[in-house]
């Protein structure tokens, strides 16, 4: 059988709500994008979470809710939140670093959660733990096994950087053995901790070049698909005839932080340019200069925020033309079975 990667355009009528219910975490991953100055230190109460969720209910559209942090299982009321979110009609995923605090697996039934997504940045402790922390690999893998054996649908997120790109292919047999259903290959973004160096050194430290990305990622994605795993990875580079669209203009994505900021674009999260904020349990358009002002700009390089924040990944020809436009970071390639 031949597997073909398909670009998943932004689907009208589909919405994604990424809800950071707290920013606290037991780990300190080297590429963590949580920025306490911008995203706050607080943990929302159970009541606040439920009230804020209601702001994003739209019964006419499929809404994917991703509950995350920080580490969301540190929140004791997470099982209750999941139950209420399902009642409100959300398709619910929890993103965890694998520690599963507060006896999480025994507090909910596998049927009440659509996906439990674990972060792993290497196929073994030698690769994963220098990035995510000592003993993290063993804990995460042990809890993936437990979750699968209890009947949870499990996915894995791998963030590709210079530190682990050469080990991505080794994830495939591990995921097969662990009976993981979905695999999300991410590209490291220059946000949060990864952005705390000068441009030249941070690119050298973390970012995979276009050549490396195209050589490694699609091939591993095909290998995983051939073994029965649904794979998704960011498009990143557009060919000449491919349409550029900014999700901020054509899709509904919300990135909610516990300090009340609500962004439409994840690349904007290090700056106070959030399009909305929540005040007194109401969703309010921020007004003035916000991320929406950037979405309206039409530039030859594609994504405006990429051009502003990480211009090093744009290639120009000798006449100043762009060799490859950069796609919206939310545009994905998917290999379905
Ligand atoms: S587990 Fe997630 S939130 Fe915690 S430090 Fe790592 S990247 Fe940051
Ligand atoms: S990543 Fe770029 S293209 Fe996508 S929403 Fe943000 S500004 Fe728009």
At 231-262, the pLDDT tens digits run 999 998 898 889 999 999 999 999 999 999 99
Burial 275-284 (b: 16+ CB within 10 A, else e): bbbbeeeebe
Q: How confident is the model at residue 202 (pLDDT cuts 50, 70, 90)?
A: very low
pLDDT: which is higher, 89 or 336 = 89
Q: Residue 192: which of 3, 33, 332 has the closest Cα?
A: 33
Is the pLDDT assigned to residue 50 strictly greater than 50? yes
Whose atoms come closest to the Cα of 266: which ligand?
2
Is the pLDDT assigned to residue 199 strictly greater than 50? no
Mean pLDDT of 43-71: 96
Compute the distance from residue 3 Cα to the ligand 1 centre, in Å.
Answer: 33
Q: Is 117 in the pocket of ligand 1 (CB under 6 A)?
A: no
| CATH T-level topology, domain 6-243+327-335 | TIM Barrel (3.20.20)
The model's pLDDT over 101-121, given as tens digits with 9 standing for 90+, comes to: 999 999 999 999 999 999 999
Q: How confident is the model at residue 196 (pLDDT cuts 50, 70, 90)?
A: low
Which among 21, 22, 23, 27 is the best mutation to test ligand 1's pocket, defined by most ligand atoms within 8 Å of the CB? 27
Q: How confident is the model at residue 190 (pLDDT cuts 50, 70, 90)?
A: low
Compute the distance from residue 327 Cα to the ligand 2 centre, in Å.
Answer: 8
pLDDT: which is higher, 313 or 34 = 34
CB 206 within 8 A of CB 194: yes
pLDDT value for 91: 96
Mean pLDDT of 208-226: 92
pLDDT: which is higher, 51 or 315 = 51
Q: How confident is the model at residue 311 (pLDDT cuts 50, 70, 90)?
A: confident
Whose atoms come closest to the Cα of 308: which ligand?
2
Which among 18, 41, 43, 71 is the best mutation to test ligand 1's pocket, defined by most ligand atoms within 8 Å of the CB? 71
Per-residue tokens: 9: 């355009």
The model's pLDDT over 255-292, given as tens digits with 9 standing for 90+, comes to: 999 999 999 999 999 999 999 999 999 999 999 999 99
Q: Residue 256: which of 61, 85, 60 has the closest Cα?
A: 85
Q: What average pLDDT does the chain have? A: 92
Lowest mean pLDDT among 39-43, 206-210, 234-238: 206-210
Compute the distance from residue 255 Cα to the ligand 2 centre, in Å.
Answer: 13
Mean pLDDT of 78-96: 97
Q: What is the pTM of this model?
A: 0.93
CB 132 within 8 A of CB 27: yes
Which among 242, 301, 304, 325 is the best mutation to test ligand 2's pocket, defined by most ligand atoms within 8 Å of the CB? 304
Q: How far apart are CA 156 and CA 151, in angstroms?
A: 16
Residue 62 has, within 13 A of its CA and on its CB side, a CA count of: 7
pLDDT: which is higher, 198 or 188 = 188
Backbone angles phi, psi at 61, to 5 degrees: -125, 150
């Amino acid at each position: 059988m031949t597997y073909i990667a398909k670009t998943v355009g932004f689907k009208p009528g589909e919405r994604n709500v990424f809800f950071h219910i707290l920013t606290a975490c037991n780990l300190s991953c080297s590429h963590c994008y949580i920025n306490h100055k911008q995203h706050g230190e607080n943990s929302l109460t159970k009541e606040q979470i439920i009230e804020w969720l209601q702001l994003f209910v739209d019964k006419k559209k499929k809404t994917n809710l991703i509950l995350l942090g920080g580490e969301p299982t540190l929140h004791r009321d997470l099982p209750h939140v999941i139950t209420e979110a399902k009642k409100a009609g959300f398709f619910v995923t929890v993103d965890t670093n694998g520690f599963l605090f507060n006896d999480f697996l025994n507090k909910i039934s596998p049927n009440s959660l659509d996906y439990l997504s674990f972060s792993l940045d290497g196929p073994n402790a030698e690769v994963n733990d220098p990035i995510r922390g000592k003993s993290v690999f063993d804990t995460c893998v042990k809890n993936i096994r437990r979750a699968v054996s209890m009947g949870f649908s499990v996915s894995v997120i791998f963030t590709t950087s210079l530190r682990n790109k050469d080990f991505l292919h080794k994830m495939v047999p591990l995921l097969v053995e662990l009976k993981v259903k979905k695999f999300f290959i991410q590209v490291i973004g220059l946000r949060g901790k990864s952005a705390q160096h000068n441009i030249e050194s941070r690119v050298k430290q973390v970012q995979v070049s276009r050549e490396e990305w195209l050589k490694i990622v699609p091939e591993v994605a095909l290998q995983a698909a051939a073994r029965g795993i649904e794979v998704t990875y960011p498009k990143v580079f557009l060919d000449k005839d491919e349409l550029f669209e900014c999700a901020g203009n054509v899709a509904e994505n919300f990135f909610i932080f516990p300090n009340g900021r609500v962004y439409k674009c994840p690349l904007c999260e290090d700056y106070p340019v959030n399009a909305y904020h929540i005040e007194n349990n109401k969703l309010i358009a921020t007004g003035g200069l916000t991320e929406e002002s950037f979405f309206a700009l039409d530039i030859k390089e594609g994504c405006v925020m990429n051009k502003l924040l990480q211009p090093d990944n744009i290639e120009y020809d000798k006449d100043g033309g762009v060799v490859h436009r950069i796609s919206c970071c939310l545009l994905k390639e998917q290999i379905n079975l």
